[in-house]
């Protein structure tokens, strides 16, 4: 996790950490995204460019732990959704060329179209949880 506090985005700000002029929110934490749905965000699908990587306070799937706490997306109970749940997907693991992300991708770099195809696959996976 320490890597993400010094790794920089294209704008020079840290991937995770304080950014001047922005509210201090735990946007990188899985719990934030879970709670957002459970509190009733009025959306069935949420796409974000935020890296979701954290040390969790709640049980998480084994595959998230294997990826160093990085979560690509999830389907969460949502009382305000017409479908009873919301899906969220992080674009960061697919569009970032950070060395740690590339290591998790077998050192692969993706073109824009490849990244979008992988995002679509992840979204379809989560929609499967939502609809089935």
The pLDDT tens digits along the chain (132 residues) read 778 888 888 888 888 877 788 777 778 888 888 899 999 999 999 999 999 987 666 666 655 555 567 888 999 999 999 999 999 999 999 999 999 999 989 999 999 999 999 999 999 999 999 998
Do 45 and 87 meet the contact criterion of CB atoms below 8 Å apart? yes
In a domain, 9, yes or no: no
In a domain, 113, yes or no: yes
In a domain, 3, yes or no: no
Q: What's the token pair of residue 3?
A: 């890597």
In a domain, 15, yes or no: no
Largest Cα span, the chain: 42
Q: How far is the C-alpha of 82 from the C-alpha of 74, rounded, in Å?
A: 17
In a domain, 93, yes or no: yes
Q: How far is CA 26 from CA 15, 22, 23, 33, 51, in A?
A: 12, 12, 10, 9, 11
| Count: domains in the chain | 1
Reduced to 3 states (helix: H, G, I; strand: E, B; else coil), residue 10 is coil
74 Cβ contact list (under 8 Å, min separation 6): 30, 33, 34, 87, 88, 126
Reduced to 3 states (helix: H, G, I; strand: E, B; else coil), residue 33 is helix
Backbone angles phi, psi at 41, to 5 degrees: -60, 140
Q: How far is the C-alpha of 108 from the C-alpha of 26, rounded, in Å?
A: 29
In a domain, 13, yes or no: no
In a domain, 18, yes or no: no
Range of the domain at 73: 28-131
């Amino acid at each position: 996790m320490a890597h993400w506090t010094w790794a920089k985005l294209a704008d020079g700000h840290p991937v995770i950490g304080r950014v001047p002029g922005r509210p201090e929110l735990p946007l990188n934490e899985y719990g934030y995204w879970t709670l957002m749905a459970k509190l009733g965000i009025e959306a069935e699908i949420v796409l974000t460019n935020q890296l979701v990587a954290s040390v969790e306070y709640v049980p998480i799937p084994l595959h998230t732990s294997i990826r160093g706490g990085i979560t690509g997306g999830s389907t969460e109970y949502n009382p305000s959704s017409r479908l009873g749940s919301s899906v969220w997907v992080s674009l960061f693991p697919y569009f970032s060329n950070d060395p740690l992300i590339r290591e998790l991708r077998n050192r692969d770099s993706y073109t824009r179209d490849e990244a979008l195809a992988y995002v679509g696959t992840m979204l379809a996976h989560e929609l499967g949880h939502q609809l089935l």
